[in-house]
Structure 1
């Protein structure tokens, strides 16, 4: 028996062999008869007997000669034309169509550009076929075609039936049931899911019509209803999970008109959810339950996380909740999801960066997830400059988490280079959000301590300029962190940067001196430590000894004497501290003003500034503050009015020192009687 030529389909060859047993001479088919078959099938008046006769001619005695007489490029064209012509007619032979489709799929000469046409033919065959028993007649052909051309098959079917009707659902179930096609099909669906609202792609026939992401979601929901879990679904879970969460977020926004039209069509097909966001959320639940994560679904439900997920304003909060639940499932799963999140954030998908970052930050609780640290650091410069306050907080939380792992500590130079290259951390110290400022200080301090590498002069000067105003922050946490970081800056500055930094250090002396009397003991202690480091940095041995002995009064006296050229600047700083909400801080400012009065005794303009400031403080709500201000004002004016023989400088200083020490009980001892007489 002759061997089947490679160009002849298997079914056609078998039919020909059977025919050859009964007859030796078969009429030869000529190429021009191809046109006759196509014309007849395109004719709406073509009757059923003629249709069946010509359709079955391809599979009987003359099949071999017919195929051999055609060019390879014409063979599939003729068969597809026959199938499409039969499908368009009012009545046709379903078995003949199925046989033709089998031939097309099994043919070694099948060309790629015909795949979309074959898929459409299979779909139309299923739509027209009302016999459930014959529903799986073309399963093997569909699986073979999908295995060879998964992209063309999946995308074409999404275009044919975006709402996933009965026929399309049958085809999808067949494709994901195959051992070799399930993962291929799921990967194609994921590519569509990840693009909202439309996935732009092109099939081999040149069709570039966009595919709806919601259409892929509809298909996925149908697949998740199968009795058996599709193969490799757990491998693709991170991508599918995140793509669906992304859809929920975008569906809460105003939908494009074409998406709204598509969704109305889905509802006409019987899709129950009232809106796309809820539909995507139900698909997420189905996905989790299909992978036996029912407990996670229940826990999120108890915390009303699913409802929170449906609001664009609270979506990022729900993402954090979901991430914490995922952390309880598997560390390996967290690592895989984090990897996909990093890829998504690199794509800079508009609007969805905040939810994605919220999920990623929660996963950083695990050290294995922090292995993505280098990739995350590459994202920091972009997202740290975001105008969104929530995004800035999330990025800073992520940086703080990365600072906790030994790996990042060993690679601390990368963290340091991150903010030295302008990642925006220093600029955030001027942010109006106190929490953002606090986290920025923490990151800067941890990075500086982790690396121990000296920092250059431009960075130290910029930091010093930003840190000094934070000493007076309304938040104690920010005060503490700013003082500690200022101390670290003085410690880690490079040698050539010390001289320009001294100007900033001298400006910080009065604020630090006043904060020695802060009501918060932690802030007062931090101020003392930072002031001591500043005096060491300035190499002032005498002031260092006085501060170590905690002789605050004498420290202020010698500080003004040592830096008398900066008295004007110190006066301005002290006047500002008279507005401090803390009485102890206002008292400290009065003390410095009294000491400064000695150095400007012959400068009436500056003395008047001091008098005016003290006079306004004599009516302070605190008795101790008002009494100290009155006494200081009296002593300064007395020293200015009386001759030096009567009020020597040492006597004035001693009286002022006693007034400072006894300031809580000045009113009780009637110390201001003389001042009252002067006033009268």
Structure 2
């Protein structure tokens, strides 16, 4: 008899066409049919494949028998306890808009300690998969279930007179998934979801869109946790409206995080763990708002339990193509810099941070150099040469950065590199290239930058073991320093010139002035180098109309002097003198005192200037 009963249900299901609604025949209205289903379940479900059919039957029976809406409660609980996935997924499929009968069934399931937790976990899985969740039930049905259908269920449950305790137990995940759904429904709502939502609006008389409905459910959840002040604070600051715009969603996430932080640090930590779990799934669109929430709560929490997860997330997002993601990842690192447990992991990020020093975004560069300077502040261990070399190459352009803080910190890190690098030889090229930029910034209008440049320049010449240049820097004879730098090796004069030319266009008058004076010294040392003299003259011509009269006049005088040098005869004696000077610089190492005296005498006879190369 029972087998024939189940068979009749299946036959009615398979005969349905069109909308899939089966007319409520006498079999659904008869008390005997409910008794037969009770009997069948009491005897044990012989096959899980029967469970979805039984769930569908219970729903139809309740729709046909409204006065006896709790008649099959025990049967439903038995089925849910035995096959929770089959019951939850079938109910979401048979009544996605959560009609009266479905709402009764959900309340029965969620009100029982036997089934509430099992059902809630399954609903969370559906909530966390926008726009649809797929799970095959025992009867082979793998029809997708809308995540929004689970949100409707949660909204109905939150309206119950006595809300199940399980919602409080799973609050952090439910909170995170609702935020997730708000964002994605704001960003993009597929046509099939819109069609489904129209049915929900008709069923419940709702006059709102999916994203606003998710926010409405989120508010109800916060009120359940007695966080009404969070809801009101967000309302006053227009936070909910900001949350509903994809372009401003991350700002609202930060605001919500700050309000939640004031409400309960315990809840914030639980939410943070859920967000980290979601971030580990690499959902590219959700990462940004989730990180925005994470940043606001990090500094108030003990992160010992989730430090590895945080570092994994940050490491991945430092390489993000989105500028905002890189900024947020750096903010996280800046907040974690005082945590001793993070020190070793953060130091391992040095390669990624060096790359960010070349970033086109000033905020990214600023935060990166602040972070690196913090790493080096208490650095007393040797720095591997490959890291030092890469870092030095990235630091040099920052000496000319338009942010004085970046300039100061880049010079600080550069000094630290020179002090603690393991092998000094590979770094000498970068240190040599730093001399001229540092010389110019010794004339910087910002006194702090000027002092830092002088200090770094002194460290650089000490690193290169140039006693002659060191003495000139110590005595602050910077123009004599420039003369010696240019005169010591005419073959590198062109390199110095290429480094100096951009300073002619610097916004600071003092640096333009220093660059013009440097051109005059460079012109004297490049006598006879027609190409370089022409380059300097062309650059100075543009500066004769400088906004500063002092710079303009100086450029005109220097231009006249350089043109005089260009047209003057390059004497045979001068050429011989330059050739001997270069020979002296490239001489083989001689140990004989007599040979040394010969070279010294030759040098004196030729009347070499005070800027000749020195004997090391």
TM over 0.5, shorter chain: yes
Partner in structure 1 of residue 320 of structure 2: 386
Match of 2:391 among 459, 463, 471: 463
Residues 442, 271 of structure 1: alpha-carbon distance in 2 compared, 3 angstrom cutoff: farther
Partner in structure 2 of residue 594 of structure 1: 520
Match of 2:108 among 170, 174, 192: 174
The reply to whether residue 99 of structure 1 matches residue 99 of structure 2 is no
SS of corresponding position for 2:245: coil
Match of 1:445 among 370, 373, 393: 373
Within 5 Å, which residues of 2 pair with 1:293-304?
293-304=227-238
Q: Structure 2: how far apart are the matches of 1:258 and 1:91?
A: 34
User: Does structure 1 retain, via aligned residues, the 8 Å contact 2:126–2:133?
Assistant: yes
User: Does structure 1 retain, via aligned residues, the 8 Å contact 2:29–2:61?
Assistant: no
Match of 1:522 among 448, 456, 464: 448
Match of 1:481 among 390, 409, 419: 409
TM-score (norm 1): 0.77
Q: CA deviation at 1:486?
A: 2.4
TM-score (norm 2): 0.85
Match of 2:422 among 475, 494, 508: 494
SS of corresponding position for 1:385: coil
Partner in structure 1 of residue 609 of structure 2: none
Moved more, 208-217 or 377-386: 377-386
Q: Structure 2: how far apart are the matches of 1:577 and 1:449?
A: 30
Partner in structure 1 of residue 467 of structure 2: 541
Partner in structure 1 of residue 600 of structure 2: none
CA distances 1:623-649 after superposition (whole Å, capped 9, x unpaired): 2222333444556667788999xxx9x
The reply to whether residue 116 of structure 1 matches residue 44 of structure 2 is no
Q: Structure 1: how far apart are the matches of 2:304 and 2:446?
A: 36
CA distances 1:556-578 after superposition (whole Å, capped 9, x unpaired): 23333445542211112222211
Consecutive unaligned residues of structure 2, counting only runs of 5 or more, are 14-23, 575-616
Partner in structure 1 of residue 80 of structure 2: 146
Partner in structure 2 of residue 366 of structure 1: 300
Q: CA deviation at 1:448?
A: 4.0
Computing the radius of gyration from Cα coordinates, the structure with the larger value is 1
Q: Structure 2: how far apart are the matches of 1:563 and 1:469?
A: 24
User: Does structure 1 retain, via aligned residues, the 8 Å contact 2:490–2:526?
Assistant: no
User: Does structure 2 retain, via aligned residues, the 8 Å contact 1:370–1:405?
Assistant: no
Residues 140, 643 of structure 1: alpha-carbon distance in 2 compared, 3 angstrom cutoff: closer
SS of corresponding position for 2:217: helix
User: Does structure 2 retain, via aligned residues, the 8 Å contact 1:248–1:281?
Assistant: yes
Moved more, 202-211 or 331-340: 331-340
Q: CA deviation at 1:117?
A: 1.7
Residues 515, 542 of structure 1: alpha-carbon distance in 2 compared, 3 angstrom cutoff: same
Q: CA deviation at 1:123?
A: 0.9
Residues 90, 572 of structure 1: alpha-carbon distance in 2 compared, 3 angstrom cutoff: same
Q: Structure 2: how far apart are the matches of 1:203 and 1:228?
A: 31
User: Does structure 1 retain, via aligned residues, the 8 Å contact 2:400–2:407?
Assistant: yes
Q: Structure 2: how far apart are the matches of 1:344 and 1:258?
A: 25
User: Does structure 1 retain, via aligned residues, the 8 Å contact 2:269–2:301?
Assistant: no
SS of corresponding position for 2:204: coil
CA distances 1:347-377 after superposition (whole Å, capped 9, x unpaired): 1124211111111122212241465232222
User: Does structure 2 retain, via aligned residues, the 8 Å contact 1:438–1:481?
Assistant: no
| Matched residues, number | 562
SS of corresponding position for 1:232: helix
Consecutive unaligned residues of structure 1, counting only runs of 5 or more, are 1-74, 649-680
Partner in structure 2 of residue 226 of structure 1: 160
Q: Structure 2: how far apart are the matches of 1:552 and 1:377?
A: 46
User: Does structure 1 retain, via aligned residues, the 8 Å contact 2:411–2:456?
Assistant: yes
Match of 2:25 among 89, 95, 109: 89
User: Does structure 1 retain, via aligned residues, the 8 Å contact 2:382–2:421?
Assistant: yes
